Amino acid sequence: MIADNYLAHTADPRVRKPEAATGSPRIEEEIIKAIQDATGNESFSLKAPRRIEGPVDSDRLHTLASLIWSRVGFQHLSAISCVDWLAEDEFELVYHFWSYRDFCLVSAKTRIPRETASMPTVSDLWQPALFFERDIHEMFGVVFEGNPDLEKYILSDWDGPPPMRKDFITREFAHDHFHFRDYEPDWDELVKGGYHSNRGEGGTDV
């Protein structure tokens, strides 16, 4: 993994290096144990070197996040991603915490029901969360209570449903919203000089 060879020869004193010879994942176990005593949540497990993962139920997430942040030293919330499990009618929000000292990523996963998708905001702990939540709100429709501004973010003139949800069929939307050109062998001749075959007079206007 990239992180490991970086760790092997980094001079940065703050970064704790894996034990020289064995390379065994002692650091990660240490972190898991620290999370367990800090938050009382035992279900975190090592997924890959320096990648820890674990499920959390939605209402305990905020406390877990603040404990990880203060006690275990994961100051950096690198991202919140949202997965649309259409079949189980649920959204899955994954919070990725990063520690500069241990050079390790902790991902806390939580599930919220798809229809009444709402989640308390973590922007009071991390300011960047404002934008992650605003983006997820725009793209998936998840409401984050306590987030001061959840207006439109990238799709400024968008009045359709949140486009990233799986039940939103983009091809269908594109077809009825934009005009497609059907194939014409000498199509470039028609376009030249601004002459449009399908203008008004009986053209296959969409």
**Binding footprint of other proteins on the chain (CB under 8 A):** 155-157, 160, 163, 168, 170-171, 173-174, 177-181, 188, 191-194, 196, 199-200
Of the two residues 66 and 198, which places its CB atom closer to other proteins in the complex?
198
For other proteins, give the closer residue by CB, 6 or 187.
187
Cβ 187 to other proteins shortest distance, Å: 8
**Judged by CB, which is closer to other proteins: 71, or 177?**
177
CB of 152 to other proteins, least distance (A): 11
Give DSSP secondary structure letters for the chain: -HHHHHHHT---TTSPPPPTTT--THHHHHHHHHHHHHH--TT-EEEETTEEEEE--GGGHHHHHHHIIIII---EEEEEEEEEETTTTEEEEEEEEEETTTTEEEEEEEEEESTT-EEE--TTT-TTHHHHHHHHHHHH--EEET-S--S--S-TT--SS-TTSTTS-HHHHHHHHSPPPPP-TTHHHHHGGG--TTSSSS----
Nearest distance in Å: CB 201, other proteins? 11
Q: 70 or 170, CB closer to other proteins? A: 170
Q: How far is the CB of 125 from other proteins (least distance, A)?
A: 32
